[in-house]
Amino acid sequence: MGNTKKTLAIFTLVQHKKSTEAYYGYGPYVREMNIWTQHFAKVIIVAPFRSKAQPEAIDTKYNHKHITLVEVPSFNIKSLASILKLILVMPALLLKIAKVMKQADHLHFRCPSNVAALAGLMQIFFPKKPKTVKYAGNWDPKSQQPLGYRFQKWLFSTTILTKNCKILVYGKWFNQSKNVMPFSTATFSNSEKVAYKPKVYTATLKFIFLGSLVKGKRPLLALQIIEALKKHDKAVELHFFGDGILFNDLKNYTTQNALSKATKLHGNVAITEIKDHLKSAHFVILPSVSEGWPKALAEGMFFGAIPIATPVSCVPWMLGEGERGIFIEPQVESATSTILSEVSKGDLYLNAMAKNAQNWSQHYTLERFEADINLLLEAK
């Protein structure tokens, strides 16, 4: 499949690893990129590289046989020292990026990221090259976001500076530039669909948290909600899947507050193990500060788990304004009260919501995603 002569260049912050002559990266990202890359004869990835690191359970292998990785350092602009360091290495970085762009037939930017920001500046000098931008963050124009994120949104959506480009964003937003396109993503295929199985919501309620254990995802809030539900005499259990800087904090909190029996931190595990847990889960919970397309919610919904989330970005659309999920405020008491109120409505009500969630999510399969990418790359 794809053009036998064309080269795709990818600009991303995802850290890459290598094992037995194959490149690996963060699983959800690589599974998506494997769909993009099959349309091209060659692939050049501009990204950070960890030469001594071995792939972990969360990592996935690129399927493409002709990949070149051009290493760039991980960097940030959060301190004066880091800014000065970036200024020193920027000329060499920009030259490296320019060389890749010259070789490539299509430029693909993974935003928001520092790597994409630099590449975004350089692509101005390649106006005729076809480009796609996958903006995985929150595109909501009204949301409060870091300066770097706002800069990338402005740069790529300013058609005077960024030509021949399509920006793929989550959700539909008014008053956007003509190169902004609503887009979705997927994790599971048609073959992984399962029929909905009614659940008993008077039994122990199983909650799943999927994603990075970082402040922006508010995993501690999810844990505190479970703690509060226990205090209301609800039988509950919470399973964390993912890793991050808050892993030890969460582990300590469970120990100090006698939650070890109700909570399990699985870390990074294979998608097959996550699927098994999602099939038996009652809820998938994600009280994030901000989101792009929250895959965790879509993945839980795919197997009939009711999503519980804060109403950020395109989440209200995903949850059908409350018809296929539960909205909570980012406060323990309020969120707990909302969940208790919904659970009290009974099995008939909750199973209808769960089935509605599953029916919606199962429309967004890898096959549909691949068809959307085919149309995108074939469009003139």
- CA dist 10 and 13 (Å) reads 10
pTM, two decimal places: 0.81
How many CA atoms are closer than 13 Å to the CA of 289, on its beta-carbon side?
12
pLDDT for 346 beyond 80: yes
pLDDT in tens, 290-335: 888 888 999 999 999 999 999 998 899 899 999 999 999 999 999 9
Q: What count of other Cβ atoms lies within 10 Å of the Cβ of residue 218?
A: 20
Residue 349: both structure tokens together: 């009500």
- CA dist 232 and 264 (Å) reads 20
Domains of the chain: 3-186+365-378 (3.40.50.2000), 190-361 (3.40.50.2000)
pLDDT in tens, 55-68: 988 899 999 999 99
Q: Per-residue pLDDT averaged across 230-251, rounded? A: 97
| 239 Cβ contact partners less than 8 Å away, ≥ 6 residues apart | 206, 207, 208, 209, 263, 264, 266, 277, 281
pLDDT for 83 beyond 80: no
- CA dist 250 and 246 (Å) reads 6
Contact criterion met (CB below 8 Å) for 93 and 46: no
- Helix-then-strand count for the chain, H and E: 12, 16
- CA dist 9 and 139 (Å) reads 24
pLDDT (0 to 100) of residue 89: 80
Contact criterion met (CB below 8 Å) for 23 and 60: no
- Residue for token pair 């197997």: 303
Q: Are strands 165-169 and 40-47 parallel, antiparallel or unpaired?
A: unpaired
- CA dist 76 and 115 (Å) reads 10
pLDDT in tens, 148-160: 899 999 999 999 9
pLDDT in tens, 179-228: 999 888 888 999 999 999 999 999 999 999 999 999 999 999 999 999 99
Residue 152: both structure tokens together: 């990338």
